[in-house]
Amino acid sequence: MRKFLVAGNWKMNGDTARNRELVAGIIAGSKPSETVEVLVCPPFPYLAAVAEQAGDSHVMVGSQNVSEHESGAYTGETAPAMLRDVGCTYAIVGHSERRTLYGETDDQVAAKYRAALDAGLTPILCIGETLEEREAMQTESVCSRQLSAVVAATGIEAFASAVIAYEPVWAIGTGLTATPEQAQDVHLHIRSMLSAENAEVAAGVQILYGGSMKGENAPGLLTMPDIDGGLIGGASLKSADFLAIVEAAVEVAGS
């Protein structure tokens, strides 16, 4: 059985005091669970402090990006091993904001994915279509292209312990959410693609939905058979909002 993963992508938000309060609230307001995993992805300067605060609680810590290089002359970059060193266990790769604002290509995302995995981090690979692409009926082909680039570079076995986040770009930070059926269709497409390569690996991959997920729409999304959690931006910045999604996952898992 796949577990749910509820992951907060804080993006470029927070400060020391607010982070402490948020993490304390999440730890206090959720429980270690066999069925629901909880992850927070703070900005780089706060990763070590948040990892220390999370300690051996059930709350895990990940980064929002990672370098594809191991070490060396890459000013401004952060190596996967450094993230492990400060207590991260996950790294988001290929978020649409990285692709759009910083020009990350499919090949670069694949290299980051491989580098994260090689350092012992679990990569969360983000894929998803823009509004224009959805309207042009290209949702599946865009997701296929973004996913194939990584599968081709790493091999299907590299997905045995990975996470994919389907994030329709038109739903990110807009308040628009894919309906549970729209999201499920794409999640199923993603799992079927992987399944054509290796059914066992495909059955184990956690596929998260991201794009204006919140407490109100989480139950409908999480009830879908191929939606295994959420990558949450806006609603991850207040513990009550984030915990409402964790709670929804706990309820769906138990029902």
Residues that bind ligand PGA (CB under 6 A): 9, 167, 172-173, 210-213, 231-235
Q: At its nearest, how many Å lie between ligand PGA and the CB of residue 57?
A: 23
Which CB, 93 or 213, lies closer to ligand PGA? 213
Inter-CA distances, 70 with 22, 163, 215, Å: 32, 22, 39
Q: At its nearest, how many Å lie between ligand PGA and the CB of residue 183?
A: 13
Active-site residue, selected from the candidate residues 37, 104, 167, 187: 167
207 vs 147: CA distance, rounded Å: 12
Active-site residue, selected from the candidate residues 95, 97, 129, 187: 95
Q: Indicate if 247 belongs to the active site.
A: no
Beta-carbon-side half-sphere exposure of residue 33 (alpha carbons within 13 Å): 24
Which CB, 124 or 201, lies closer to ligand PGA? 124
What residues have CB less than 8 Å from 137, skipping those under 6 apart? none
Which CB, 79 or 246, lies closer to ligand PGA? 246
Q: At its nearest, how many Å lie between ligand PGA and the CB of residue 147?
A: 17
Question: If you search the block for the tokens 């138990």, which residue do you land on?
Answer: 254
Name the residue number minimizing CB distance to ligand PGA: 233
Which CB, 72 or 175, lies closer to ligand PGA? 175
Q: At its nearest, how many Å lie between ligand PGA and the CB of residue 171?
A: 6
HEC assignment per residue over 48-111: HHHHHHHCCCCEEEEECCCCCCCCCCCCCCCCHHHHHHCCCCEEEECCHHHHHHHCCCHHHHHH
9-36 burial: b if 16+ Cβ within 10 Å, else e: bbbeebeeeebeebbeebbeebeebeeb
Q: Indicate if 21 belongs to the active site.
A: no
Which residues are identified as catalytic? Answer: 95, 167
